[in-house]
Chains A and B, each alone.
Chain A
Amino acid sequence: MSDQTHMPAGHDLAPGDEEQHSVGTRILGYVVGLVLALLLTATSFFIAGTDLVWQPSIPVALIVLAIAQMGVHLVFFLHITTGPDNTNNVLALAFGLLVVFLVVGGTVWIMAHLNANMPAMDQIMTMRR
């Protein structure tokens, strides 16, 4: 195995690595990411405590903002792109996300149904009487 730090042209990129840019461009990328993330965070905190918007929309807005901010982090900090040299990283990420959605979505779905379909024990006792 070669131990070089700079991969030859045309090879895959390691996760977290960028294509060869100057230092200024790389710093600019982090600055853009930081500004976007701060904006999204500020919006989340503002939305959570405001009376300006229709209240049932707040949870949805918070989740959308969180997903958007995770995307910002992935692109600007972890440098996950859609480029061909990033295919392996994106596929691993996609599989990870699949498992995450199966676990969280499946759990919430099943437990909500159990809550709705199986009354608590004290209710069952009163039904039997």
Chain B
Amino acid sequence: MSMTATAGRAHADPHHIGLVIEHPGPAPKRIVTAYGFWVFLLSDIVMFSCFFAAYAVLADQTAGGPKGSEIFEQRNVAIETVCLLLSSFTCGMASIAADVRNRFWFYLGMAVTCLLGLIFLVIEFREFADLVARGYGPSRSAFLTSFFSLVGCHGLHVSAGTLWLLTMMAQVFAKGFRADVLRRMMCFALFWHALDIVWVGVFSVVYLLGSGV
């Protein structure tokens, strides 16, 4: 198409300033899909920012219940953080393996990512169950409501991501590295990395700021 005609010139003038392009045509599907998903992820982050704002406002409203420093266990949070970080790394390895169509490293990377995600979820679930058992459930105080909704919303995202991860492994197993499967894999990698970014905000703002002064 006309894309090839402009490709050479576009390199010299990447922003197309002062260049009249005759119908460059739609971008490749991989770019359109990933860009749309990127916009979705940003809107997801905007949604998380509302939960963060609610938490920031309500963090001191403990209504006689426990403060953050009394219920947070830094050791667990550190393990969770390392799990998510390593899973982000292995997810990157899996997407490289998918790009070079290496099944073994793809399955290995995805399996390790899944395992680390599950460890994260188990630790978080046990923390929540322990809090509820001690009577510090989300209905105890406004602080705990905002805490459970923010951290729980992130946990729900991780759960959905784990399901998506297993789906991707099954699709590669059944359909191979087709172009559409690779696009989904790229969106999944974006999703997983974005979740890690949100977790950086969670452990810094909620757990570390909350347990300190």
Q: How far is the CB of A16 from chain B (nearest CB, A)?
A: 5
**B200 & A15 in contact (Cβ 8 Å cutoff):** no
Chain B residue with Cβ nearest A47: B208
Interface residues of A in 22-72 (CB under 8 A from B): 23, 26-27, 30-31, 33-34, 37-38, 41, 44-45, 48-49, 55-56, 58-59, 62-63, 65-66, 69-70
* Cβ B14 vs Cβ A30 within 8 A: no
Partner of B212, one of A23, A59, A92, A107: A59
* Count of chain A to chain B residue pairs whose CB atoms are closer than 8 Å in the complex: 176
The residues of A that contact B46 with a CB separation of less than 8 Å are 96, 99-100, 103
Partner of B29, one of A3, A10, A17, A56: A3
CB distance from A43 to the nearest CB of B (A): 11
Contacts of A30 in B (CB 8 A): 89, 92-93, 96
Task: Kindly specify which of B134-142, B152-160, B186-194 makes contact with the partner chain.
Answer: B186-194
Nearest residue (CB) in A for B100 is A23
Let me know if A73 and B193 touch, CB within 8 A. Answer: yes
Q: What is the chain A residue whose CB lies nearest that of B193?
A: A77
A residues at B contact (CB < 8 Å): 1-5, 7-17, 23, 26-27, 30-31, 33-34, 37-38, 41, 44-45, 48-49, 55-56, 58-59, 62-63, 65-66, 69-70, 73-74, 77-78, 84-85, 87-89, 92-93, 95-96, 99-100, 103-104, 107-108, 111
Q: Are B11 and A9 in contact (CB under 8 A)?
A: yes
A73 to B197, CA, bound (A): 7
Chain B residues with CB under 8 A of A4: 28, 30, 179
Q: Which residue of A lies closest to B98 (CB)?
A: A5
Given A55-B213, A66-B201, A74-B197, residue A41 in contact with residue B35 (CB < 8 A): no
CB < 8 Å: which of B4, B29, B57, B93 contacts A8?
Answer: B4
Bound complex: CA of A16 vs CA of B154, how far in Å? 21
Chain A: interface secondary structure? Answer: helix
Q: Assuming A2-B28, A69-B200, A70-B200, is B45 touching A16 (CB within 8 A)?
A: no
Query: Which applies to chain B's interface (DSSP): helix, strand, loop or mixed?
Result: helix
Q: Mark B9-39, 1 if CB is under 8 A from A, else 0.
A: 1110011000000000011111111110111
29 chain-A/chain-B pairs, Cβ below 8 angstroms: A4-B28, A5-B30, A7-B30, A10-B7, A10-B8, A11-B7, A11-B31, A12-B27, A14-B30, A14-B34, A14-B186, A15-B38, A16-B34, A27-B96, A37-B85, A41-B85, A45-B81, A58-B212, A63-B209, A66-B200, A73-B200, A78-B190, A84-B14, A88-B35, A89-B38, A96-B42, A100-B46, A103-B46, A104-B52
Chain B positions within 8 Å of A1 at CB level = 26, 28-29, 32
B31 near A2 with CB under 8 A, answer: no
Closest to B38 in A: A15
